[in-house]
Amino acid sequence: MSHAAQDPRIASLYAEHLQTCQARAERALSLSGHEALLIASGVEKYAFLDDRPYLFQPNPHFKAWLPLVAHPYSWLLVRPGTKPLLVYYQPDDYWHVPPAPPAGYWVDQVELRVISEPEQALQHLPADVSRLAIVGEADAALQHLIPNNPEALIHSLHWARACKTPYELQCLREASRIGARAHLAARDAFLAGGSEAEIHRAYLIAAGHTDRDLPYSNIVGLNEHAAVLHYQYQDTARPAQHLTLLVDAGAQVAGYASDITRTWTRGDAASAEFDALLAAMESAQLALVDEVRQGVDYREIHLSTHRHIARILREQQLVAMSEEAMLAERVTSTFFPHGIGHFLGLQVHDVGGFMASEAGGTRGKPDGHPYLRLTRDLAAGMCVTIEPGLYFIPTLLNKLRATPAAKAVDWAKVERLARFGGIRIEDDVVCRAEGAPENLTRDAFASLA
């Protein structure tokens, strides 16, 4: 396990973070009409007809309070005006390494009960659940402690979670630094002629992570694989040529994720045409990051991205149409077929992106943009990704070929560039109360330069 925070500022900010969690929980309880909140960390899940557990994924509501990501069968009880009570499961298990005895910057901030059998939790938790909000997955139920996940409470907590506390921002900064360091190692492995699997391993070594520690499965695509948005394999064979590398990969600190994408070439004569496109996307990405401002409707940044893509397609002489016509005929969606980004935090695609208000409801996506994951107005402390892309995806290009816009496309150029797969540049960005945003990713790369 290597999610433990190293930066001492993280520890010093924790007590204040817990106070914010407490205040948010008390508000949510008052809105839902419950007296206390009980959170189940979750249970181990097993492969069908097998005794091998899947990698444990904690209830995000649990790790919002505690930097504990590998702790099934634990519970947190939150009552207004009282220190949170943590029931900490530490089995006497010689088959596995049990969770370490409770230690770290969080220990003093909670009341602790250590148990060695899941059922022992019952001795420490309320017998009367009539006024209890129990948040967890259905399979976490323990006798009468059955998750009820009250909607009003969950909505309120999800709404608030979009704005990160100073502690959370510090975790995200450290996750960004680890990710940036690993991305540079991946680039070096690419330049040294590595396979996707070798590049992936170089990433892990530099991050000090194993696959178990990653916040999501690394996307490591060489050449045409850069065009597969969620490319899920890592070829062990080295390709004949190393034209492009697209790596979409993050790191995890105390349960918080970074989510970073970089696209690299060798920068030689063979990639000159693609490098011009890459440079255009780089400056568009920076302009889009700069749109992350308090009060801005995130949907507008997504629509702005399509305008940038239209301009780039025209300027790079890929599509000889007016930008307005490209947008009207949805040509840009062939080349940029995903959303500009999402909330980031405890989950890579953090919750609450479509909420209309603290009470719930849905704020819609713009027509024709089904893959956007965030539609809210930005506020100080929100952490979002800004990840424009421009790809040569065979199935989408074939569809474009069948439309009237096809005649405006320079297909010979498309074919030349398709060998490179595509481009995505993804930064993690924090909205500030005033002025330009904080770019966690660019700051992390700059600190390594």
Which residues bind to ligand GLY, rule: CB under 6 A? 216, 248, 259, 342, 348, 387, 426
Looking at 93-101, 184-192, 240-248, 394-402, which segment touches Mn ion (CB under 5 A)?
240-248
What is the Cβ-side half-sphere exposure of residue 19, based on CA atoms within 13 angstroms? 6
CB of 273 to ligand GLY, least distance (A): 26
Q: Which residue is nearest to ligand GLY (CB)?
A: 248
CB burial class (10 A; 0-12, 13-18, 19+) of residue 320?
exposed
CB of 426 to Mn ion, least distance (A): 5
* Chosen from ligand GLY, Mn ion, none, partner binding at 216 (C-beta under 5 to 8 Å by type): ligand GLY
CB of 98 to ligand GLY, least distance (A): 32
Alpha carbon distances (Å) from 62 to 14, 21, 35, 269, 348: 15, 11, 18, 52, 16
CB of 219 to Mn ion, least distance (A): 7
DSSP line for 199-217:
HHHHHHHHHT--GGG-SS-
**Contact pick of 156, 385, 439, 441 for Mn ion (by CB under 5 A):** 385
Q: Binders of Mn ion among 273-332, rule CB under 5 A?
A: none
**326 or 351: whose CB is closer to Mn ion?**
351
**171 or 340: whose CB is closer to Mn ion?**
340
* Chosen from ligand GLY, Mn ion, none, partner binding at 438 (C-beta under 5 to 8 Å by type): none
Q: How many residues touch Mn ion (CB under 5 A)?
A: 5
Alpha-carbon span 197 to 195, nearest angstrom: 5
CB of 248 to ligand GLY, least distance (A): 5
**136 or 352: whose CB is closer to ligand GLY?**
352
**Contact pick of 248, 350, 427, 438 for Mn ion (by CB under 5 A):** 248
**58 or 353: whose CB is closer to ligand GLY?**
353
For every residue of 45-89, which 3-state class applies, written as one string?
A: CECCCCCCECCCCCCHHHHCCCCCCCCCCCEEEECCCCCCEEEEE
CB of 177 to Mn ion, least distance (A): 17
**61 or 373: whose CB is closer to ligand GLY?**
373
Contact assessment for residue 312 and residue 388, using Cβ atoms and an 8 Å cutoff: no
H-only helix segments in 217-322? 272-289, 298-315
**Contact pick of 174, 198, 224, 259 for Mn ion (by CB under 5 A):** 259
Alpha-carbon span 245 to 29, nearest angstrom: 48
Looking at 1-9, 21-29, 247-255, 435-443, which segment touches Mn ion (CB under 5 A)?
247-255
Alpha-carbon span 177 to 171, nearest angstrom: 10
Q: Tokens 């008390």 map to which residue?
A: 26
Contact assessment for residue 418 and residue 396, using Cβ atoms and an 8 Å cutoff: no
Alpha-carbon span 95 to 53, nearest angstrom: 13
Residues that bind Mn ion (CB under 5 A): 248, 259, 261, 385, 426
